Amino acid sequence: MRIGQGFDLHRLKEGRRLLLGGVEIPSDMGEDAHSDGDVLLHALIDALLGSKALGDIGQHFPPSDMRYKDMDSRELLKRTLALASFHIINIDCNIILQTPKLSPHIMDIRKSLASLLDMDVSDISVKAKTAEHILGELGRGEAIAAEVTLLTE
């Protein structure tokens, strides 16, 4: 078995969509990024690449490359899955966000990841927490972060 871990962080900007695991969350602010900014999928991609020691998301999909402008991160995930044979056993995710509350959306996010990865929802954990109004931009609600740990065989 091999472990993978991923982390990603984005600034939040008014008028942008807030995407998490391919699910759009109702919010006045969303991730500011070159691609669609889905911070959870980006951390997941890095965890997958890490499990195979295949580098990181920036090497495979450089932000300087205009082909990835506003790119749907679900497409980046599909391309990542095509790079190697990933047999994922389970995934555990943390999302750090001040607002909005994510608890009503957790099951939708888990189902979306299960569908994208062809996995069972029971093998995918998604947890959300606030930054307790501390931690700089995260605490002021100006940024969002995600971390993903997974096990492959």
Footprint of Mg ion (CB under 5 A): 8, 42
Question: Min. distance of Cβ 58 from Mg ion in angstroms?
Answer: 9
Supply the DSSP symbol for 142: S
| C-alpha neighbours within 13 Å on the C-beta side of residue 32 | 9
Question: CB-wise, 8 or 147, nearer to Mg ion?
Answer: 8
What's the one-letter identity of residue 75? E
Residues in the chain: 153
CB of 108 to Mg ion, least distance (A): 21
The residue sitting closest to Mg ion, measured at its beta carbon, is: 42
Nearer CB in complex with Mg ion: 32/92:
32
**In the complex with Mg ion, which residue's Cβ is closer, 54 or 121?**
54
Closer residue to Mg ion, CB minimum distance, 11 or 123: 11
Number of Cβ atoms within 10 Å of the Cβ of 80: 23
C-beta neighbour count of 83 within 10 angstroms: 14
Least Å distance, CB 42 to Mg ion, is 4
Minimum CB separation of residue 120 from Mg ion in Å reads 26
The whole-angstrom separation of Cα 153 and Cα 81 is 14
Alpha-carbon distance of 51 to 73, in angstroms, equals 19
